[in-house]
Amino acid sequence: MSIVVTGANGNLGRLVVEGLLEKVPADRITAVVRGKEKGARFEALGVRIAVADYNVPGTFEGLFAAGDRVLLISSSEMTADRAAQHRVVIDAARAAGVSLLAYTSAAGGHESPLTEAHRRTEKALAESGLPYVLLRNNWYSEIFVDRLETVVEAGVLVRAAGTGRIASATRADYAAGAVAVLTGTGHENRTYELGGDTAWNFPEFAAELGRRTGREIVYTPVTVEAYTELLVGAGMPELYATILAGADASFAKGELAGTSGELSRLIGRATTQIGETVAAALKR
Ligand X SMILES: NC(=O)c1ccc[n+]([C@@H]2O[C@H](COP(=O)([O-])OP(=O)(O)OC[C@H]3O[C@@H](n4cnc5c(N)ncnc54)[C@H](OP(=O)(O)O)[C@@H]3O)[C@@H](O)[C@H]2O)c1
Residues of the shown chain interacting with ligand X in the complex, contacts defined by CB under 6 A: 7, 9-13, 34, 38, 53-55, 73-77, 85, 104, 137, 139-140, 143
Tell me the closest approach of the beta carbon of residue 21 to ligand X, in angstroms: 17
Q: Which residue is nearest to ligand X (CB)?
A: 10
Of 20, 69, 80, 67, nearest in space to 46 by CA: 20
Tell me the closest approach of the beta carbon of residue 34 to ligand X, in angstroms: 4
**DSSP string computed for 79-93:** TS-HHHHHHHHHHHH
**DSSP string computed for 201-236:** -HHHHHHHHHHHHTS--EEEE--HHHHHHHHHHTT-
Minimum CB distance to ligand X smaller for 119 or for 155 = 119
Of 253, 269, 233, nearest in space to 108 by CA: 253
Task: For 51-77, give one letter per residue: b (16+ CB within 10 A) or e.
Answer: ebebeebebbeebbeeebbbbbbbbee
Q: With contact defined as beta carbons under 8 Å apart, do 249 and 186 qualify? A: no
Tell me the closest approach of the beta carbon of residue 57 to ligand X, in angstroms: 11
Helical ranges in the chain per DSSP H: 11-21, 40-43, 82-96, 113-128, 148-154, 171-183, 202-213, 224-233, 238-252, 262-267, 274-283
Minimum CB distance to ligand X smaller for 79 or for 185 = 79
Q: With contact defined as beta carbons under 8 Å apart, do 132 and 101 qualify? A: yes
Minimum CB distance to ligand X smaller for 105 or for 228 = 105
Residue 51 CA to residue 56 CA, distance in Å, equals 11
Of 144, 150, 122, 121, nearest in space to 54 by CA: 121
Minimum CB distance to ligand X smaller for 5 or for 209 = 5
Minimum CB distance to ligand X smaller for 10 or for 19 = 10
Helix (H, G, I), strand (E, B) or coil at 30: strand
Tell me the closest approach of the beta carbon of residue 75 to ligand X, in angstroms: 5
Minimum CB distance to ligand X smaller for 139 or for 227 = 139
Tell me the closest approach of the beta carbon of residue 255 to ligand X, in angstroms: 13
Tell me the closest approach of the beta carbon of residue 38 to ligand X, in angstroms: 5
Minimum CB distance to ligand X smaller for 74 or for 228 = 74
Tell me the closest approach of the beta carbon of residue 55 to ligand X, in angstroms: 5
